[in-house]
Amino acid sequence: MKKFLTIAIALVLVIGCVANASAITVGFSQVGQESDWRTANTDDMCAAIEAEGWTLVYDDAQQKQENQVKALRNFITQGVDYILFTGVVTTGWDEVLKEVNEAEIPLFLLDRMPDCMDEIDYVAAFGGDFLEEGRRMARWTINYLAAQGRADEEINVVILEGTTGAAAATDRTKGIMEVLDKQDKLKVIASQTGNFTRAEGQAVMESFLKAHEDIDVLLAENDDMALGAIDAIKAAGKVPGKDIIIVGCDSVKAAFDAIVAGEMNCTVECNPLYSSAVIPMIKGLEEGKTYEKGVVHPEEGVFCMDGGIPYDEAGELLSVKAADVIDERKY
């Protein structure tokens, strides 16, 4: 009898734990499906949540802030246990994120941080260092031109900016200009948003090419816009990667393919695979752990055609040859 009772109690405890773990409901307010980066970010996080047996409530805002506000309010009404949130733009979140705090739902800030992050409660923040990614784009370009024997040449640069008002765009542009403003050979002759999409990147690059005969460098704030621009450059009868040096950001697989094909020169990494950091944090919170405020950044590198070009301020970190690592890339 005693043995039977012991087994029965053990079974109840195990079922209780399993039920408790699968009882976690995670609300994920995602920006949209604008780029390969976003798709990788979404797929990675959603698959990891479901692999834990947790319940996922996913919302795709189609890059509209009003849809994200609605989604966050729905999460509150549904009483989810955790909220994962990436704001499509930086501003306009104060009111709804305070409502999340008042509902006492633990909030994860991911990817693009809201400008009110110092005024709200959140359990953890994780995302790219966009300022440094922008600096790396510009530093790599200056060092690449020097390596090509073009250090003394007057260079015309065009910039495809990301979504207007998005931290990833604002800060990458800031990082790029911080580096370009320290030298006088590379001059920005045009800069415009391509909204992080391939189609809009192509359209804006077409307009740049119509307006400027002498573009030497394209800095695209994500790879999707760079890939769209490659199509525009070819249509204009120019050779991408040669007539115009093309530097992207994100390091998605399609960019590696373009670099190996010789049509793109460089991509600065922005890792979209957040689940390996976020899932353990949720488990930690379930066990009563707490995390420091402030954004945790993933490791990020730079990949290019031939490798060996410095991209940090000290000139010690060297870009990696894309062909050497393309087969191990996960997104």
Least spacing, CB of residue 71 vs ligand GZL, in Å:
17
| Contact between 275 and ligand GZL per CB under 6 A | no
Strands 266-269 and 217-220: unpaired
Least spacing, CB of residue 197 vs ligand GZL, in Å:
8
| Contact between 311 and ligand GZL per CB under 6 A | no
CB closer to ligand GZL out of 165 and 284 = 165
Cβ(147)–Cβ(203) below 8 Å:
no
Cβ(59)–Cβ(30) below 8 Å:
yes
Least spacing, CB of residue 227 vs ligand GZL, in Å:
11
| Contact between 128 and ligand GZL per CB under 6 A | yes
| Contact between 303 and ligand GZL per CB under 6 A | no
| Contact between 274 and ligand GZL per CB under 6 A | no
Long-range contacts of 143-146 (CB under 8 A, 24+ apart): 143/309, 143/310, 143/311, 143/315, 144/245, 144/265, 144/266, 144/304, 144/309, 145/185, 145/186, 145/217, 145/245
225 CB-near residues (< 8 Å, 6+ apart): 160, 162, 194, 196, 197, 198, 200, 201, 204, 248
Q: Which stretch binds ligand GZL (CB under 6 A): 33-41, 145-153, 280-288, 297-305?
A: 33-41
Q: Which stretch binds ligand GZL (CB under 6 A): 31-39, 45-53, 67-75, 229-237?
A: 31-39
Phi and psi based region of residue 304 (left: phi greater than 0; alpha: psi -120 to 50; beta: remaining): beta
Greatest distance between any 2 Cα atoms in the chain = 90
Query: What gap in Å lies between CA 76 and CA 88, rounded to an integer?
Result: 19
| Contact between 136 and ligand GZL per CB under 6 A | no
CB closer to ligand GZL out of 24 and 137 = 137
| Contact between 256 and ligand GZL per CB under 6 A | no
| Contact between 34 and ligand GZL per CB under 6 A | yes
| Contact between 37 and ligand GZL per CB under 6 A | yes
Helix (H, G, I), strand (E, B) or coil at 300: coil
| Contact between 112 and ligand GZL per CB under 6 A | yes
Give, in degrees to the nearest 5, the angle at Cα 20 between 17 and 24. 145
Query: What gap in Å lies between CA 293 and CA 316, rounded to an integer?
Result: 30
Strands 266-269 and 302-304: antiparallel
Query: What gap in Å lies between CA 212 and CA 191, rounded to an integer?
Result: 12
CB closer to ligand GZL out of 52 and 257 = 257
* Six-digit token string for 75: 């999460």
CB closer to ligand GZL out of 34 and 200 = 34
Q: Which stretch binds ligand GZL (CB under 6 A): 34-42, 148-156, 179-187, 256-264?
A: 34-42
| Contact between 137 and ligand GZL per CB under 6 A | no
Among 28, 82, 108, 196, binds ligand GZL (CB under 6 A): 196
Query: What gap in Å lies between CA 211 and CA 205, rounded to an integer?
Result: 10
Among 44, 111, 161, 216, binds ligand GZL (CB under 6 A): 111
Residues that bind ligand GZL (CB under 6 A): 34-35, 37-38, 111-112, 127-128, 168, 196, 222, 224, 249-250, 270
